[in-house]
Amino acid sequence: MNVHDLSRDDDFLSHLLVEKLGTGTVPLVVHKMDSSAKLPKTDTNELMRLVRRLVITKLPLQQGLRQAVDELVTFPAIRYYLKSYNQKQINAFATHASRYFELYHPSGSIEIAHTSRYSSQTGKSELCVLATRPLAPGTVITELKGSMANLTDEEDKELKRAHVVNSDIRRDFSVIHSKSMKKNHLFLGPARFVNHDCDNNCELFREGRYITFRVLRPIAIGEEITAHYGDGYFGKKNRHCLCETCEKNGRGGYAPLDDDDVSSSSSSDSDSDSESSSSSEAESEEEKPVLNLNERRTRRGVYAITATKDDDSDDSENEEDNTVPLVGTKDIPIEVDIDNASELTSLPTSNPPSDINSPARSTPSILTPLQSSSISRSSSSLTSLSSSSEDLKLSEPDILSASSNPTRSQSKGSASRATTSQPTPTPTPSLRRSTRTSSSHLASISRSASASAKDRANATPGTSTGRSRNTPRTEVSVKKEDVDQRVLRARPSMPNVAEAAKEVASKEPPKGADGKALPTCSTCSNVLPVILVDSKVVWGGPESKKNKKKKQDCPRCIRHFAIYQQTWPSRNPPAGAFSIVPRAASPADYASKSSKKVLKYLQKQAEVTSSKSPSGSLRHQQKKRVREETVEESPRPAKKVKVDQPATVKLKQTPATPVKQSKAPQSQSSSPDDTPRRKRGRPRLSSPARQDPKSNAWSDGVVVKVEDAEVTEIPPKRLFSQPRALNGRFGKKDKGQRRSGDGSGSSGSPRSPRVKRERDNEADSSPWTSPRRKRAYDDDEIQILDPSPRKRQVVSRMDGNATKLRQRVMPRPTSTFRGPKLVSNPSPLNFALHAWAGPVILDDSSEDEDSNTSPETPEELQSPGPEIAEGDELSASSLLPLAAPVPRAPLIYKPTPFTFSKRRWVSLSQLPERLASTETVLSKGTEDEDVEEISEPHSMRRERTNSMNAQSYSPRWSKSFLTINPDVS
Ligand SMILES: C[S@@+](CC[C@H](N)C(=O)[O-])C[C@H]1O[C@@H](n2cnc3c(N)ncnc32)[C@H](O)[C@@H]1O
């Protein structure tokens, strides 16, 4: 993947699957690589429905993701976006999309949320990654991945100088550096939302071809996932760092000015907070020009990876050097070539157990009592609001300067802003701790209360060590062998969440300096955050203060509920709930569990939706949504025709039904779930069977709306060349399992004749040259017109009126010359297909043909067709049994391509004679008899068949359409 494509794709996908998803009026604004680029508009509700389907899917992770991506690329906006892409680019896009989808899979353990920690610097709430389950050390957070692209020297320079050209452009990119290759790589995807903390709880982790994150020490629910960007990312010795650890220790951006040494030498000096209070406003002013985080970020923005064992962490001290080594990477296999790693567009090699309740997940809770209590203050988005008296002390000198200048002092201003917007909590030591900052802060407090840094490092037996601030960066304790031996994939379950939540609920709400309770989220009990976009408060602040008597939910909990229909942080429906179709979010749904604020929010959303939709009421919307989900989630059973229903089968409306019906006896006899299945021969490349979710096939349950596809530039086919193997990237593997057509509506849903016509046209101009493709495409047409005589026969039997169908089953014009195609691709199938286009050759040598007339399946052999007495008038109702899934008579002619081709190559010397026979036959029927005969009602056929010597006259091809039951005739 090249840098340009990755940037473009990431901007688009993060917009769709982070910014827009369930955020309502409180967007999770993502920094774009190119914020000026216009993105195609997408229907947010459709997106949400798609993600909801992923959330409730019963499919294993990989298949669920495939399905979601498959569906995504059928969105008109996405098709438009991809129209200029070649197959490789589409595959890369799809893979990148799967990374974002993976965030939402029920087995996931993280969530993207707001953080106000850096608002004072950026004028906006940024994003962060929070744990939704307790994570044990050594756990690899597989869903936190990124895609990489090699940066050319020119691109590298371009990224670095972007800010020089326009300092407003904030390219908040992430770059991974390979020291061995001396190259940088762009690293985008969900992993890009991981913020830096000097006492990081995760590390970038390369495992084989994948780069993801590994947990270094226990992480509690709601705690932020943090990594270490390097010692020089935020200025020399990270002196402008605004992380929680720095805040807690009065270092980095919180350090007393002109005291860099202090900030970098003291590992955990709690006194530094008080020291910081001595920094004066004058000092802050002096510091201003130095601190320009945006510029620094723009220029640097580097996650660094060492690829050699002798990396020197001293490099990190050099501000101009981007090659800051990444902790923990030293012993990651050197042989892993970062070039290969840059091809990392695939899903993890190892997945979390599909059964989320499996024993592997049921590791004991790692929550300590203190950590449990920290849940209530867990969101890092609450940092700026939950200030303590300590923070107040720290930030007092900076209050005046905080609002105007992006200086280090302003980072303290972050806290001061919070203190001005929120009352100071009661200054009891315990409360100071609990209300001071975010959960990770609290977690670290609890950790330090329970163990020293060294103890923490050894807390995980024989696996990883936490890195204390002053530990040399080369300290790496996680060996690859250890990693391989450990079970890293298990995502610990959260058995104690309920208890923790209860505990939280029973606690007193945090209070401000005025002794009044701070407004908290009614779901997670966190102090409500203030969300800023472009320096404007878009959520919280004075408003939430006013409404603090009312119950409110924080944006994170609102979004979570919108996506999962579960209160934060739960994702998994209770056991057995999968069989219940989840209901759409509605005020009624939410009100019982939450507050009026949420009610209003959802109502507002519903209004917006209903104003767009003519169908009106919320109730209607909800019903509609439930219906959709029911249809899309439940396996599609084979359609059944009521045998006793005296109705004419309208092929126009239900073209797919008759064909399926004809197969029903077999599928019923063998498959309890009525899954249509291919009975014999090569497996169909595009079989309707893939619609069965239980078959776990590629396009399970995907409803493809060809009609919606206004963008016709992309042929209606699967957008990916191949599905991906479990551990393979899209388009790279499974070369032997090509399927096609899914992306365009091969789901088996009935197509309108218009669509059919369009597709016919497209088929003619189709760029697909592969016979496989062609075949798959033809298979798609089976629903309406299958080229095989057997199918025609069935269709013919279904149509009592025989008028509509007549047009469809006519042999192709004889003038069509398709020879060259046949020569170039002389497969029996092609031959047979093209043979249909040629003149009809009659063949009365029925003996050897009839020897081929074995039934298709043993079931057919055993089940004779319904007997119809001679001269019976067949009404529509009497025709129905023929169409219904009842046993069929054995076929006289086995319409395989091979047998057909045998006929086709009849000796030319016999031609005149046979043509004469044809004339004889046709003269007995009506005009245009050759057409009529195919589709005429069964009664007529039988009549005529009896009136002529079928043995000698019957044209071979028409014979193939007639079921001549020996018992009857
Ligand atoms: C890779 S991004 C992380 C996600 C980012 N918060 C966002 O919303 O896109 C890195 C950016 O996050 C912010 N950031 C992360 N950690 C920080 C820290 N410790 N101090 C200051 N800013 C930080 C900075 O704006 C930095 O440029």
Contacts of 757 (CB under 8 A, 6+ apart): none
pLDDT bin (cut points 50, 70, 90) of residue 606 is low
Distance CA 896, CA 893 (A): 9
Q: 117-121, 322-326, 500-504: which range is least confident on average?
A: 322-326
pLDDT bin (cut points 50, 70, 90) of residue 256 is confident
| pLDDT tens column, 804-852 | 434 444 444 444 445 444 555 667 777 777 666 544 433 333 333 333 3
* Ligand 1 atom showing the smallest separation from residue 173 Cα: 1
Measured in Å, residue 195 CA sits from the centre of ligand 1 at 5
Q: What is the pLDDT of residue 242?
A: 94
Measured in Å, residue 290 CA sits from the centre of ligand 1 at 18
Measured in Å, residue 59 CA sits from the centre of ligand 1 at 35
Is the predicted pLDDT of residue 307 greater than 60, yes or no? no
* Ligand 1 atom showing the smallest separation from residue 198 Cα: 19
pLDDT bin (cut points 50, 70, 90) of residue 708 is very low
CA dihedral 613, 616, 617, 618 (to 10 degrees): 0
* Ligand 1 atom showing the smallest separation from residue 241 Cα: 20
Is the predicted pLDDT of residue 381 greater than 80, yes or no? no
Measured in Å, residue 128 CA sits from the centre of ligand 1 at 8
Measured in Å, residue 109 CA sits from the centre of ligand 1 at 21
Token duo for residue 335: 């042989």
Taking a C-beta distance cutoff of 8 angstroms, is the pair 192, 147 a contact?
no
Measured in Å, residue 403 CA sits from the centre of ligand 1 at 20
Is the predicted pLDDT of residue 247 greater than 60, yes or no? yes
Tabulate helix, strand, coil % of the chain (nearest 5).
Answer: 45, 5, 50
For the chain, the distance separating the N- and C-terminal CA atoms, rounded to the nearest angstrom, is 67
- The Cα-based distances of 429 to 388, 511, 914 in angstroms read 10, 13, 105
Q: Which residue, by CA, sits nearest to atom 19 of ligand 1?
A: 243
Count Cβ atoms below 10 Å from residue 803 Cβ, excluding itself: 10
To the nearest whole percent, how much of the chain has pLDDT over 70? 31
Q: Which residue, by CA, sits nearest to atom 21 of ligand 1?
A: 242
pLDDT bin (cut points 50, 70, 90) of residue 532 is confident
Q: Which residue, by CA, sits nearest to atom 1 of ligand 1?
A: 192
pLDDT bin (cut points 50, 70, 90) of residue 664 is very low
* Ligand 1 atom showing the smallest separation from residue 226 Cα: 16
* Ligand 1 atom showing the smallest separation from residue 174 Cα: 1
Q: What is the pLDDT of residue 86?
A: 94
| pLDDT tens column, 508-529 | 667 777 777 788 898 998 888 8
Q: What is the pLDDT of residue 836?
A: 60
Q: Which residue, by CA, sits nearest to atom 15 of ligand 1?
A: 195
| pLDDT tens column, 452-472 | 333 333 332 333 333 333 333
**Mean pLDDT (whole number) for 920-928:** 41
**What does DSSP assign to residue 680?**
S
More confident residue, 441 or 532: 532
Q: What is the pLDDT of residue 893?
A: 55
* Ligand 1 atom showing the smallest separation from residue 303 Cα: 1
Distance CA 700, CA 764 (A): 28
Taking a C-beta distance cutoff of 8 angstroms, is the pair 260, 290 a contact?
no
Pocket test of ligand 1: the residue of 159, 172, 295 to mutate, having most ligand atoms within 8 Å of its CB, is: 172
Q: What is the pLDDT of residue 627?
A: 56
Domains of the chain: 107-347+389-413+424-490 (2.170.270.10), 531-633 (no CATH), 785-969 (no CATH)
Measured in Å, residue 75 CA sits from the centre of ligand 1 at 32
To the nearest whole percent, how much of the chain has pLDDT over 90? 18
Helices 876-883 and 656-670 cross at an angle (nearest 10°) of: 50
Q: What is the pLDDT of residue 535?
A: 83
Measured in Å, residue 124 CA sits from the centre of ligand 1 at 12
Q: What is the pLDDT of residue 127?
A: 94
More confident residue, 81 or 377: 81
Measured in Å, residue 319 CA sits from the centre of ligand 1 at 17
* Ligand 1 atom showing the smallest separation from residue 297 Cα: 27
Taking a C-beta distance cutoff of 8 angstroms, is the pair 132, 304 a contact?
no
Measured in Å, residue 408 CA sits from the centre of ligand 1 at 15
pLDDT bin (cut points 50, 70, 90) of residue 154 is confident
DSSP labels, 76-119: HHHHHHHTT--HHHHHHHHHHHHHHHHTTSTT--EEEEEE-TTH
**Residue reference for tokens 């016999």:** 910
Q: 113-122, 364-373, 488-497, 689-698: which range is least confident on average?
A: 364-373
pTM over 0.90: no
* Ligand 1 atom showing the smallest separation from residue 31 Cα: 9
Measured in Å, residue 672 CA sits from the centre of ligand 1 at 54
Measured in Å, residue 174 CA sits from the centre of ligand 1 at 10
Q: Which residue, by CA, sits nearest to atom 12 of ligand 1?
A: 195
Q: What is the pLDDT of residue 540?
A: 82
Measured in Å, residue 44 CA sits from the centre of ligand 1 at 27
Helices 87-102 and 61-72 cross at an angle (nearest 10°) of: 120
Taking a C-beta distance cutoff of 8 angstroms, is the pair 132, 111 a contact?
yes
* Ligand 1 atom showing the smallest separation from residue 411 Cα: 21
Pocket test of ligand 1: the residue of 23, 118, 122, 440 to mutate, having most ligand atoms within 8 Å of its CB, is: 118
Q: 8-22, 112-126, 387-401, 492-506: which range is least confident on average?
A: 387-401
Q: Which residue, by CA, sits nearest to atom 17 of ligand 1?
A: 196
Pocket test of ligand 1: the residue of 129, 195, 249 to mutate, having most ligand atoms within 8 Å of its CB, is: 195
Q: Residue 807, exposed/middle/buried by CB under 10 A (0-12, 13-18, 19+)? A: exposed
* Ligand 1 atom showing the smallest separation from residue 196 Cα: 16
* Ligand 1 atom showing the smallest separation from residue 246 Cα: 19
Q: Residue 472, exposed/middle/buried by CB under 10 A (0-12, 13-18, 19+)? A: exposed
Token duo for residue 904: 């086709």
Q: Which residue, by CA, sits nearest to atom 14 of ligand 1?
A: 195
Taking a C-beta distance cutoff of 8 angstroms, is the pair 215, 135 a contact?
yes
Is the predicted pLDDT of residue 18 greater than 90, yes or no? yes
Alpha carbons within 13 angstroms on the beta-carbon side of residue 528 total: 30
* Ligand 1 atom showing the smallest separation from residue 242 Cα: 20
Measured in Å, residue 559 CA sits from the centre of ligand 1 at 22
Is the predicted pLDDT of residue 490 greater than 70, yes or no? no
* Ligand 1 atom showing the smallest separation from residue 115 Cα: 6
Highest averaged pLDDT of the listed ranges 22-36, 62-76, 229-243, 626-640 = 62-76
| pLDDT tens column, 848-904 | 333 333 333 333 334 433 333 444 443 333 333 333 344 444 445 566 777 667 666
Measured in Å, residue 926 CA sits from the centre of ligand 1 at 81
Handedness of CA 134, 138, 139, 145 (dihedral sign): positive
Is the predicted pLDDT of residue 200 greater than 80, yes or no? yes
**Mean pLDDT (whole number) for 780-789:** 35
Measured in Å, residue 482 CA sits from the centre of ligand 1 at 31
* Ligand 1 atom showing the smallest separation from residue 197 Cα: 19
Distance CA 779, CA 676 (A): 14
More confident residue, 548 or 135: 135
* Ligand 1 atom showing the smallest separation from residue 128 Cα: 6
* Ligand 1 atom showing the smallest separation from residue 127 Cα: 8
Contacts of 533 (CB under 8 A, 6+ apart): 27, 29, 124, 125
| pLDDT tens column, 536-548 | 888 887 766 666 5
Q: Which residue, by CA, sits nearest to atom 13 of ligand 1?
A: 195
pLDDT bin (cut points 50, 70, 90) of residue 697 is very low
Strand-pair partners of 205: 212
Is the predicted pLDDT of residue 957 greater than 50, yes or no? no
**What does DSSP assign to residue 159?**
H
Measured in Å, residue 295 CA sits from the centre of ligand 1 at 13
Highest averaged pLDDT of the listed ranges 33-37, 278-282, 571-575, 584-588 = 33-37
Report the chain's mean pLDDT, rounded to a whole number. Answer: 56
pLDDT bin (cut points 50, 70, 90) of residue 235 is confident
Q: Which residue, by CA, sits nearest to atom 27 of ligand 1?
A: 297
Taking a C-beta distance cutoff of 8 angstroms, is the pair 743, 719 a contact?
yes
Pocket test of ligand 1: the residue of 188, 196, 201 to mutate, having most ligand atoms within 8 Å of its CB, is: 196
Measured in Å, residue 192 CA sits from the centre of ligand 1 at 9
Ligand 1 pocket list (CB less than 6 A) = 31, 118, 122, 126-128, 172, 174, 192-193, 195-196, 234, 241-243, 293, 297
Measured in Å, residue 242 CA sits from the centre of ligand 1 at 9
Distance CA 101, CA 65 (A): 7
**What does DSSP assign to residue 884?**
S
| Nearest one of 564, 521, 578, 605 to 45, comparing CA atoms | 605
Measured in Å, residue 634 CA sits from the centre of ligand 1 at 42
Measured in Å, residue 119 CA sits from the centre of ligand 1 at 10
DSSP labels, 272-335: HHHHHTT--HHHHHHHTTT--HHHHHHH--EEEE--STT--GGGGG-TT---PPPTT-TTS-TT
Distance CA 775, CA 769 (A): 10
* Ligand 1 atom showing the smallest separation from residue 126 Cα: 8
Pocket test of ligand 1: the residue of 124, 126, 249, 414 to mutate, having most ligand atoms within 8 Å of its CB, is: 126
Measured in Å, residue 411 CA sits from the centre of ligand 1 at 13
More confident residue, 229 or 688: 229
